[in-house]
Chains A and B, each alone.
Chain A
Amino acid sequence: MTALSHTGGRSRARAPDALLPWLAVLGALALFELAPRVGILPSDHFPPISDSISTLVEQLGQSTFWTAVGQTMQGWALGLGIAAALGVPLGIIIGSNRLLYRACRGLIEFLRPIPSVALIPLAILIYGTGMQSKVFLAAFASFWQVIVATLYGVQDVDPVATDTARSFGFSRVKRLFRVTLPSAVPYIATGLRIASAVSLILTVTAELVIGAPGLGRAINVARSGGNEELMYALILTTGILGLLLNMVFVRVEKRVLHWHPSHRRDVNV
């Protein structure tokens, strides 16, 4: 009882928990607004944040801005799509055969740590400096996330479930769709979510380094043109894109996998 009234008294003096994130965001915004104005940060490199945000709002009405966003999203979607279309089936095939898995594991473990950006020069040589290079790099990098997650998922199937299905005379195909896939789906979903972030990163990288059209190149152009407000506005845009994509994936995952134990933990509590 005393403990309760004690915490009650304390929370009245402090900010309520729900307000904390807002306060922190406001604090950060105020910092980046005031520091350049007062002169703590050099204002020629750090325009006050309100200038960058109003530039961003202005950009929302420009067609060039939306073209750049569209080009980046196209690279992201194609890269992720190719990675998923190759990674998931290959992961299932390799993961469900023990010998095949052992045979491929060495190869995968050797190829996976290769930094995909090392292939940028090769991509330029073969695909030029356009969309194809971007998609190739994004697909290559996110492919490993998808296939490794799928492999883990397929390997983690409860052997009792597989054996039960087998002893009930389920065919191979039926076992795949009734036992293996449902139990591997959460892994695949996580793999796809990470692959989505990787695909976006590689798309922007390709735009920056190779100069393929899109947000990355626009950021670089804004910098070399001395348009700091625009540069910051575009960097904010990439952050917002990343955040939105991640949110969409988490939402879809929750909705599609609501039946899965890993998503119904709170019901048991």
Chain B
Amino acid sequence: MNDPAPRRWTGAALEVAVPLIALVLWGVLSSNSQTYYFPPLTDILTTFKDTWLFDRVGSDVVPSLLRMFAGFFIAVVVAVAAGLALGASGRARRAFSPIVEFLRAIPPPALLPFAILVIGVGDSMKVFIIAFVCVWPILLNTIDGVTGVDPTLRETAKSYGIPQAQVVRRVMLPAATPQIFAGMRTSLSLALILMVISEMVASTNGIGYFVLQSQRTFAIPEMWSGIILLGLLGYLFNGVFVLIEKRVLRWHRGARASALS
């Protein structure tokens, strides 16, 4: 906050430099590595280039991402709609809370065998499991957001005789947006995780399938390149989402800032 300028610069420089140093250190330490499981970083990077730029993009990366985003968007639509409904009615919320709590408590991978049994091993099984898992954080956050709407706002809308549909659209949804976004961010990382798990358990393509298959055939640099790709994707999605969130919620931050000052 009230750091002197030079210290602030040191901080910023450190923030960028430390990950780079760690990367260089990995490269140097592994350069003469004879250990079979930890090949030199340069080998991994060469394999990464050969595998992912852009040889397997069409066959593995695109199907993976399609499944992931299909599941994620289904979850967003279902969870926001259900969250608005449950948030608006205290009785409905009360009634469904034990069911929601229980479904949420089941570790998601435990449902994979169920999904395979009922839906099969195809894409729809993976989309289902991703959507099922992503629903809960968004749903609970939407409910929280809606119940947290300023009562004055609610009463005002009511006393002006604004129809319920309009109240949901113009009052509740905007007020709950920051919370909904927080839930979506959690769900996005869950979507990536479940995409990988579902592909590891039952699939014939996809990044998760590729990584596990590489390990089983002892293609170690390929395995590492897949792990690095997943790490980059996780980092990238998170970063892009934060940018979108900042953009969409600009009005919210503005309103907060002017209210506080």
Interface string of B178-222 (1 = CB under 8 A from A): 000000000001001100110011000000100110110000100
Interface string of A74-117 (1 = CB under 8 A from B): 00000000000000000000000011001111110011011111
111-153 of chain A: CB within 8 A of chain B: 111, 113-122, 124-126
Are A235 and B110 CB-contacts (below 8 A) given A21-B98, A115-B193?
yes
Interface string of B110-123 (1 = CB under 8 A from A): 11111011100000
Are A115 and B196 neighbours in the complex by a CB distance under 8 Å? yes
The residues of A that contact B16 with a CB separation of less than 8 Å are 106
Among B18, B95, B109, B117, contact of A204 (Cβ-Cβ < 8 Å): B109
72-128 of chain B: CB within 8 A of chain A: 91, 94-99, 101-114, 116-118
* Stretch in contact with the other chain, from B46-54, B141-149, B233-241, B246-254: B233-241
Are A204 and B94 CB-contacts (below 8 A) given A103-B18, A105-B15, A113-B235?
no
- Let me know if B58 is at the binding interface, CB within 8 A: no
- Let me know if B151 is at the binding interface, CB within 8 A: no
- Let me know if B45 is at the binding interface, CB within 8 A: no
| Partner-B contacts on A (CB < 8 A) | 14, 17, 20-21, 23-25, 28, 45-46, 98-99, 102-107, 110-111, 113-122, 124-126, 200-201, 203-205, 208-209, 215-216, 219-220, 222-223, 228, 231-232, 234-235, 238-243, 246
* Stretch in contact with the other chain, from B6-14, B26-34, B156-164, B168-176: B6-14
- Let me know if B227 is at the binding interface, CB within 8 A: yes
- Docked CA distance A111–B116 (Å): 32
Are A45 and B117 CB-contacts (below 8 A) given A120-B200, A208-B110, A238-B107?
yes
Interface centre among A124, A203, A242, by most chain B C-beta atoms within 10 angstroms, is A242
The residues of A that contact B22 with a CB separation of less than 8 Å are 107
Are A201 and B107 neighbours in the complex by a CB distance under 8 Å? yes
Query: Chain B, interface size: which category?
Result: 35 or more
| Partner-A contacts on B (CB < 8 A) | 3, 7, 10-12, 14-19, 22, 37, 91, 94-99, 101-114, 116-118, 189, 192-193, 196-197, 200-201, 208, 211-212, 214-215, 220, 223, 226-227, 230-231, 234-235, 237-238
- Docked CA distance A168–B18 (Å): 36
The residues of B that contact A23 with a CB separation of less than 8 Å are 95
Are A118 and B231 CB-contacts (below 8 A) given A104-B18, A106-B16, A204-B109?
yes
- Docked CA distance A25–B237 (Å): 37
The residues of A that contact B102 with a CB separation of less than 8 Å are 239, 243
Interface centre among A28, A118, A209, A228, by most chain B C-beta atoms within 10 angstroms, is A118
Q: How distant is B91 from chain A, measured CB to nearest CB, in Å?
A: 6
Name the residue on B nearest A239 (C-beta).
Answer: B106
The residues of B that contact A46 with a CB separation of less than 8 Å are 118
